[in-house]
Chain A
Amino acid sequence: MKGVKEIRSRIKAVNNTAKITRAMQLVASSKMKKAQQLALLGRPYMLLLTEIAENLSKLGPSKLRHPFFERREVKTRGIVAIGTDRGLCGALNQNILKFINANIARNENVKFITIGKKAMQLISLAKWTIVANFNVSDRTDYCELVPIVEFLKNAYLANEIDSLEVIFAQYINPLIQEPINQHILPMLDFHSELERLCKNMHINSGEITYDQRPMLVEPNVGSVVAMLSQMFLSQNIYRVILEAKASEHSSRTMAMRGATDNAETLSKELSLEHNKLRQAAITNEIIEISAAIQGL
């Protein structure tokens, strides 16, 4: 049986842990709100960008000539896996790894680009090929993505990778984050991409009207396509990272809430035990005193 003193110090320690986990929960939930808001606000931008691309592609297949928008034989898949930099966020990173192991055959030619320290550690431990690792801070500044986008663009244009997919935890609701594989390059069908975006934003894709007259393009199609492809890639990467961040923070909020609850239960149990022990000691003392009185 433990002594009263030990239990008392244990209670103190457990209460301190609860305080820390509660603070972490609050921080994560405020960060989650920010990331979610950014992701939501950016949606009309992405929609318009896709609409522009869709309009361009309607001019004829010969117009949209860019490696990003052309079919090619996939020899090496390029997969960006987005994890977190820090732990204590539930099973998020493990779920990503599980998803990779379940969905990608070992004999396939795959190059991984990881974002986040934990993703790199787990995926390299599982013996997948990693060609690069990047870190993105919780502020998720647009300029932090420049090196990532440049790297991906160069790798794709140099035929080092023939497709670009992103595996990340999609934010469904505060309790559920599900790993998905989103295809980014080559982008062949803007129409279905547009429909997917509309569905996410809860708009009817039929509401988007098109001008039937042929579209003029200034200064020329080539420079528009060049600029569009660059914006398309960076916007897509930005969006998935924001979504992954929202998932990370909500997963961490839930994990920390669980930890706080556990610590509180433990603290209650310990106080009960502490009170019992104290009561037992008092009873003992009273017995001793009354015994002594009787002996007089």
Chain B
Amino acid sequence: MGERKTVRKWFWVWDFDKEERWLNEMALQGWVLDGVGFCTYHFKKCEPGEYAVRLEMRPHDESYIAFMEETGAEFVGRFTMWIYFRKRVEDGAFDLYSDIDSKIAHLDRIGRVLAVIGGLNLLCAFMNSVGVGTWVGVLNTICATVLMYGLGRIHGKKESLQQARQLYE
């Protein structure tokens, strides 16, 4: 017991489901998430398959975390607006969202943040192109482009859920 390791890995924001899948594969291999940072994941040794891990984007809300803990989940950590939970598999099924509407609401939250940051970068790009720092402007334009691409990916995920929502709830 007590063995730990740190893995550095990059995930795009719109690949949060891929990130979650990877964290659960790690748990299956006996490494459960124990802390998060910028592109950094801390793990501690566990029984293979002992835990399920979930993540989501949600503005800071202590009462939400208390609510999650009340349902048997453990708060692992937070990086920016992303929060990470784990729960013992033997304590029952673990999902954060069980209907289409709340999944869409989650994507909307992510989309709004990407839109705001993307918009700010666009504004900076414009202001820098007028001023001296041309290369900073180029950097801002690249950031804005990446964020807009991300917004498109999130929108795509949302559209397929909305299509399902026309027939199911």
Are A and B physically bound partners? no
- Give chain B's interface residues, CB within 8 Å of chain A: none
- Give chain A's interface residues, CB within 8 Å of chain B: none
